[in-house]
Amino acid sequence: MPLKPPVNEVDHCQGDKAAKIVIVEYGDYQCPHCGRAYPLVKKLQAELGEDLCFVFRNFPLAKIHPDAMMAAIATEAAALQGKYWEMHDILFENQENLDNDALARYAQRLEMDVEKFSSDIADQQFISKVESDFESGIRSGVNATPTFFINGEKYNNGWEGNRILDFIRANDLI
């Protein structure tokens, strides 16, 4: 199933969008499976270097993860201060504590303007961005987190261990 929409200017990317491999993850900051996938993505980034562009799209499963939506909004608000990926990482590294007080502490730890951050997380534009990511996941066939897309196609072979890297090598993507 194809990624809808394709990677575009509203996505947060680590790496060049024109890289040989573009991996999109639909994830939830409170999801334990996403927490286990987080270091595997870091390993992929280290292994593939500039051949990889990594994109994270929000897919908060709010019914089972009550802090996931606000955590996703927090990353979008952090982006205004140039700290999207730093906030992304700190949230995955502290999944057990994602309430509003913790989010403010993380913003402070990242040397952000905490007052601005606190006001920004109430801004409708960030709620809309997270909802848009979620809706794009639904259109793309996402029904669990994490879900990965490799070069625009849904990847269904399991993400544990080296499976994604093995898939990339077996299919001569690098």
Considering the entire predicted model, what is its pTM?
A: 0.96
pLDDT for residue 174 is more than 80: no
Q: What ranges do the domains of the chain cover?
A: 12-170
CATH number of 12-170: 3.40.30.10
Exposed e or buried b for every residue in 77-111, given b needs 16+ CB within 10 A? bbbbbebbbbbbbbbbebbeebeeebbbebbeebe
Question: Average of pLDDT values for 76-98?
Answer: 98
* Predicted pLDDT at 141: 97
pLDDT in tens, 151-163: 999 999 989 989 9
Give the C-alpha separation, 158 to 155, whole Å: 8
* Predicted pLDDT at 173: 84
